[in-house]
Structures are given as structure tokens and as C-alpha cells.
Amino acid sequence: MILFPNRNKLILLLGVFLMQSLAGQDPVTVERTTNKVILEGTVYYIHVVKPGQTLYAISRAYNISQKEIAIENPGVVSGIQIGQSLKIPVEPSLVDEVDTSEGLEQGEAIQIHIVEKGETLYGIARKYGVTEEVLMQANRGVTARNLKNGQRLIIPLLNRAEEDPVYNEQGIIYHKVKRRETLYSIAGYYQVSVEDIRAANPELGWGGPKNGQVIRIPEPQVTGQPQSIQDTISGSGSIYAGSDLPMEVYGYAELASENYNINRTYQVAFFVPFDFRKSEPLDSLLKDVSSETRRSRITERYLNEQRIPQSVQFLEFFQGSLLALDSMRQMGMKLDVRYYDTRKSMSQTLSILRDDELEDFDLFIGPFYPYTLEIVSEFARKHKIPLVTPFNNDLDLVKQNPYLFQMSPSIEREYREAAKLVASKHDYNIVYVRQEDSLDIEKHEYYKQLIFDGFDDYHPTEPVVFKEVVLSMERIITLEQTQEIIHSLSSDKKNLVLIPTSNVSLASPVVSALRFQLRNFDIELLGSPNWIGSDFSSIDYRDYHNLNLIFYSSFWVDYHDPVVDAYLAKYRSHFYNEPTFTSKKGLNYGIAGYDMTLYFLNALRTYGSRFILSLDEYHPELIQGSIHFDRLSRGGGYENANITFYQFTPDMTIHKIDVPELPQPNYFFRPVDEKKDWWKDRQRYE
């Protein structure tokens, strides 16, 4: 091997470039490819070299220097080869420069504010609908403590043009992450779910995006659900780690002196994304869209939105809450209720919170989307206002706000409870079915570890049989793949087949395959709360009954219950229809609106603002299951810990099942190592 000094090496490199440039007179035309990939947060074109093409011609086609191509593809200094794939760095389109954080960027509209006597940083932020952090970022060195009379502050204006992002033919847009941006804010800006962004960017894992990283944003899909998804952890290392920020112990000292007055009027605010807007004509949406695939997708979304607007299910929540308000007023409770339309907009939510009257309210319910919830939660925490989030199932905000109540249990809690049930069936042949998805691998590992820990708690006398079947990531599960599951079943004992998925495309073929094996095997299925939700309506419930499906839910509605019948009759008499919309986990919007409103209003009526201190003794009768709140930490808020198991049976009934109690622990004593103990004693006294 010959080593060149740096100078000679540079001369050699430039010589190669010179030869390529001279050869660049080649008349072969280089067409710019549209294929893009993201590698380590940078967007590249992937150009495949064709006969007659030179490095010079390629660099001209992509408007980039040969040196830049050589830096990304070191081998080109020795020449390029036909068929070789070159990484060509590319700056994303203009929309990549959108900043979804609340900071000040070059070119953003600003306003100057002159600080007057008595003004505070928080008050100024409220006035302009921004946060204190935004002001401090836009005005270096400014803090809440050193604000001075007459000081000039730069106020960044957040009124961005609400234009639809321009997606490429594959329905993808590239976004360059700015400082302080989160997946919440990015998802909120583009109106997609955090789950969709993670699925399009598997390199993110369970962490958050980094400053300067380029990520793919998929075009929003047709959906009737709020963006409350399984994965909403931003910036954490893993699903079970969360974001345990150091929090001070909070003991609600201000409630100790709170006087209960049964005759007072309670003020309640609802933040609901009705978002009623006049639809844009379909022709204008299809203008300048040449791809037939995209045109079909836009048309499908438009027709679905015209048939059932996304705000309809929220209207049912609103109607259910009206029934609860009516019930409480009939009981003599005095209420001042305000409804605010957040319109799925962060700027609209900030504008709503400018109302000074909201600082003295007794209860907030909503908003429904994570990125607007983040804003309202901070406001509620500062002003010590109880806040109820109906659909969010992430713990990050709850850990930081002692006044936040989360109705939907987190996936961590769901896994912990489900793992106990699986462990109690340690004498079964247990088959764990999942897809080979790197995005969900940490969730599966966490779930399995909980199950294995549960086996230790039950200390079975016989070896536990636990098998894992990993299916490929093919869009359609093949017959050959389902045969792997059949081969893992046992004819000598009961089989428990776990399919912890929210993907009906995985669950449906597995259920169909197992249905034909009931003559040969004794089978029980364990799914997830999604299995009874709207996305799984394509699976015949008779298969659930025949396969003894076990599912768990916090919001199961028994339509044979007289209490449920009475509520539905009341709903029909007021609104001339029934609440029909359900979330992905089976939560009925119309019933949820009633239960959540009634629970907290009745708590205020019974205990006043001190109800937070009396949750353990408060158990009202509700329509859609019971509610039991656990406080996550001594400095955080509350999570609904109520998770109940139900099972479909072959006699076409559904009944509640209980997780067996843990057996008494077996205590044993380790043999005493006299020499070891003697040496420890000697070291202690020396």
C-alpha cells in the first residue's frame, strides 16, 4: 500500500476531478431522479449511473459540485461504474423550513412591545398568545426576574399562512427539524398522528427528532379518530422509561383552606375541536395534481369527510356532556359552562387562553389532540385548575402536572395488567404472535419481560411453555405464515395465543386460520382493547366467541344493562338518534361525554375544589365502567387505573373475568457461610 502525504493526496483528488471534468463534454443527458431516501437524518437522491454518464454531467444535473458528491461517495475518486448507486445530497423543498416550534426564526413576522410598569413576562406572553419560553428565546438574556420598565421586547407572531403542504407523488413531504420542535408540534402542524410519523421514520425508534434532522411526513390519511395513539412518547429512551423529569413533591396546600360552599356557582370550560368549516370544492383540491394515485386518495378523503365529517363524533361527546350538565342542574348545582372550539389548531388554542376569566375556572375538559393538550395543560398547571383529558394515553404530561386527570390508561398500564393475566395461565401452551417490526420491538420486549416476571410471581411447579412466532412484514399474511402458528399449538394442553396488535390486517388472517383448528386444539385468544373498536369491525364476532377471545377495556358498555338502556332512551329523546361513534379502543363518544362530565361535576358538588383529596372514597355510578384514579407520583397527576378483562364464550355471551390472586410466597433461608460472615465482621470493625 502506498501512502500519500496530504498535499499529494489532494493533488491526486483534484486530478481525478479534472479528468472527470474534461470527460464531462460527453453529450449524454443525465436525468434527475425523483427517488429519495433519508440516511442519518439527511435527504439524498439515489442516482443510478447509466452508460456514458460522467461525474461532471451528474453534478451539473443535480446542481451540486463534484467535490460534494465525492464526500458522500468516497469511491468516485477512482471513477464511477455503470449501475453504481450514488448518494446525492439534496436540500428538501421549501416546506421543510416550516418551524412548528414556538420560537423566532429568520423571516418570521415580529412586533415590538414596550414594557410598562407592573407588567410581567407571563402577562405579556398571554397578551400576544405566545409562551414565556418563546419570549425568552426571541430576546436573549430576558427572564421573568430581570424585566425592566421601558424595555423593548421582540414579539414573534404565530399567525402562519394555513396552506396545505405540497406532497410528492408518493404522498411524502420532507421536514427539517428545528430547535425546540417536538413530534407533538410537528404532527399538529401537518395534521397527522405521531404514530404515522414514527412509522415513516423507523430510525427515530422511541426517541424524539434531533435538531437539523430531516424526517418524512406522510400525507394525512382518512380517519375519524382523534390523534391519540399508542406511541406519544417524545424524547424518551423507551416505552417504559417515560420522561421522569425531576419534580417537587406537591401536596395541594392551597386546598387545605378551601371552604366548601354548596350554593356557589362552578365555572367549567370544554375545549372541543368541532372545526366546522365550509368545504373547499373537490376540483380545486385536485388542481395541479397529476398522479392518479394521489388524485384517488384526495377524492376518497373528500368523499368520506362529506359523508361523515370528522367532527361528528366530537358532537356526540358534546351531546353526552349536555345530558350530564342537565342532570347536575336538576340536582341543584349552579353552573357557568363555556364551550370553546379549538379547531385542531395550536394558534386557536393559544388565542382562547388569552381570556383572563379562564384563570379562575374550576374545571377544564379537553382538548382532544395531544398538541393542543400540551398548551392547555401548562395553563391549567400554572393556575391550579383540574384538567380532564378524554383520549390521550401518554404519561409525559401527567407526570408534570398534578392537576391533570387522564381518563384513558397508558399502554404501560395495559401491558402490566395483561401480563398478570397471561402469567396466571402458566400451565397453558403460550404462543406470542407478532410481526417483524423494528418500530414496535421495544414494546414487545417490555410486554414479554412483564410476562416473564409474572411467571416468577406465580412460581409454577412445572416448566412454562412459551413460544414466539414472528411473522414477516408482508402486507398480506400468507397461508404459509399462519401455518407456523398452527404448528406451535399443542394438543396436550390448553393454548393461549397472544396477538398484541392494533393492526386488523395481522389479526384477521390469524383469527381465520385458528377458527379451522378448533376441532384439534383447545384455544383461547388474547387481543388488545383495539379488538372491540371501530377498526376491527370486519372480523366476525362469532369467531371471537368460538375462539374464547379475552380482551381488556376501561370503557366496555354492556348494552343488556338496564342502566345503559335508560341512558340511550334519554339520549334518543333529546337528540333523536343514538351515540354510535366509538374510538379505536371501543370508547363510545356519547357515553364518554356523559360519564366524564358527570364524574367531575358531581365531585365538585360533593367535595368542592377539595375533591382531589377525596378520590379514594369517591365512587359514583357511571354508564361505561367505573373510574379509579392512581396518582403517578407525589408531584404529578392522575391516571385512570381501571382495566377490566372480559371473555367471549361459545354460548354467545360476554362475561367479566378476574385475574387470579397470586399464591402465597415461598420463603426459604440461604445457608450461612460462616467464613464469609466472619470476614465481613472483621472488615466492619477494622
pLDDT tens digits, 601-658 = 999 999 998 899 989 899 998 998 789 999 988 889 999 999 999 999 999 999 999 8
Examine the pLDDT at 101 and tell me if it is beyond 70: no
> What's the grid cell of residue 61?
444535473
In this structure, how many other beta carbons lie within 10 angstroms of the beta carbon of residue 75? 11
Inter-CA distances, 113 with 13, 105, 127, 138, 155, Å? 56, 18, 11, 12, 7
User: Residue 209 — pLDDT band, cuts 50, 70, 90?
Assistant: confident
Only one residue has cell 421549501, namely 94
Identify the three-state secondary structure at position 635.
Answer: coil
d(CA 358, CA 375): 14
Residues 6+ apart with CB under 8 A from 362: 266, 267, 268, 385, 386, 604, 609
Q: What is the pLDDT of residue 16?
A: 34
d(CA 512, CA 509): 5
The grid coordinates of residue 16 equal 481525478
CB 335 within 8 A of CB 269: no
Q: What is the pLDDT of residue 309?
A: 61
CB atoms near residue 447 (< 10 Å): 25
Cα separation, 631 vs 142, in Å, equals: 36
| Distance from chain centroid for Cα 139 | 33
| Cα–Cα dist 61/547, whole Å | 60
Q: How far apart are CA 213 and CA 175, in angstroms?
A: 8
Cis bond leading into 220, ω under 30°?
Answer: no
Does residue 102 sit in helix, strand or coil? coil
Mean pLDDT throughout 470-478?
68
CB contact set of 386 (below 8 Å; sequence gap of 6+): 362, 363, 364, 380, 403, 405, 600, 611, 612
Average pLDDT over residues 529-553: 87
Q: How confident is the model at residue 146 (pLDDT cuts 50, 70, 90)?
A: confident
- Helices marked H in 208-334 — which ranges? 282-285, 292-307, 312-330
pTM: 0.64
Residue that the C-alpha cell 466492619 belongs to: 684
pLDDT for residue 402 is more than 90: yes
Decide if 6-90 and 412-553+653-657 have a common fold: no
Name the grid cell of 653: 355471551
Mean pLDDT of the 308-322 span: 81
pLDDT score, position 179: 64
* Best-predicted range by mean pLDDT (89-98, 184-193, 212-221, 595-604): 595-604
**Under 8 Å between Cβ of 154 and 104:** yes
Strand partners, 38: 43
Between 88-97, 106-115, 557-566, the lowest mean confidence (pLDDT) is in 88-97
The pLDDT value recorded for residue 679 is 45
Which one of 63-77, 176-190, 448-462 scores highest in mean pLDDT?
448-462
Nearest to 144 by CA among 401, 374, 382, 398: 382
Average pLDDT, integer, range 327-355: 89
**Contact between residue 398 and residue 636 where contact means Cβ atoms under 8 Å apart:** yes
Q: Higher pLDDT residue, 65 or 37?
A: 65
For 223-263, the pLDDT digits (tens) are: 444 443 332 223 333 333 333 334 567 888 888 777 777 78
Average pLDDT for 200-219: 74
3-state secondary structure of 43: strand
Q: What is the b/e burial string over 636-671, where b = at least 16 CB atoms within 10 angstroms of the residue's CB?
A: bbbbbbbbbbbbbeeeeebeeeebeeeeeeeeeeee
Span of 153-167, 415-429, 558-572 with lowest mean pLDDT: 153-167
In this model, does residue 479 exceed pLDDT 70?
A: no
| Averaged pLDDT for residues 457-475 | 81
Rounded distance between C-alpha atoms, residue 541 and residue 537, angstroms = 8
Cα–Cα distance measured from residue 295 to residue 219, given in angstroms and rounded to the nearest whole number: 12
Does residue 686 have a pLDDT over 70? no
- CA proximity to 112, closest of 86, 135, 83, 81: 135
In the chain, what percentage of residues exceed pLDDT 70?
74
Pairwise CA distance, residues 231 & 107, whole Å? 34
Question: With bands split at pLDDT 50, 70 and 90, how would you rate the model's confidence at 7?
Answer: very low
Q: How far is CA 562 from CA 342, 487, 569, in A?
A: 36, 45, 10
| pLDDT at residue 517, as a whole number | 87
Quick: pLDDT tens for 42-93.
677 888 888 888 888 888 788 787 777 877 787 776 678 887 878 888 764 4
Look up cell 399464591; give the residue: 663
What is the per-residue pLDDT across 363-396, written as a single tens digit (0 to 9) for each?
A: 999 888 887 888 899 999 999 999 999 888 888 8
- Is residue 568's pLDDT more than 90? yes
Domain 6-90 classification at class level: alpha beta
Identify the weakest region by mean pLDDT among 89-103, 116-130, 592-606. 89-103
Secondary structure (H, E, C), 515-532: HCCCCCCCEEEECCHHHH
Alpha-carbon gap, residue 217 to 96, rounded angstroms:
10
Residue that wins the pLDDT comparison between 106 and 483: 483
- pLDDT score, position 244: 38
615 or 135: which leads in pLDDT:
615
Query: Please, what is the average pLDDT of the chain?
Result: 77
Q: What is the pLDDT of residue 236?
A: 32
What's the pLDDT at 306?
A: 62
pLDDT confidence of residue 313: 78
Has domain 412-553+653-657 been given CATH number 3.40.50.2300?
yes
* pLDDT for residue 639: 93
Integer CA distances (angstroms), 450 to 189, 416, 468, 490, 639, in order: 36, 6, 15, 24, 20
Any bridge partners for residue 435, and if so which? 471
Apex CA 73: angle with CA 68 and CA 74, to 5°? 100
Q: What was the pLDDT predicted at 509?
A: 87
- For residue 65, the model assigns a pLDDT of 76
| pLDDT for 115 | 84
Return the domain boundaries, the chain.
6-90, 110-156, 264-275+310-409+564-573+588-637, 412-553+653-657
Q: Can you name the residues that pair with 43 across neighbouring β-strands?
A: 38
CATH superfamily to which 110-156 belongs: LysM domain (3.10.350.10)
Band of the pLDDT at 497, cuts 50, 70, 90? very high
Mean pLDDT of 108-135: 73
Which pLDDT belongs to residue 379? 92
What is the length of the chain? 686
Helix (H, G, I), strand (E, B) or coil at 119: coil
* 264-275+310-409+564-573+588-637: CATH number: 3.40.50.2300
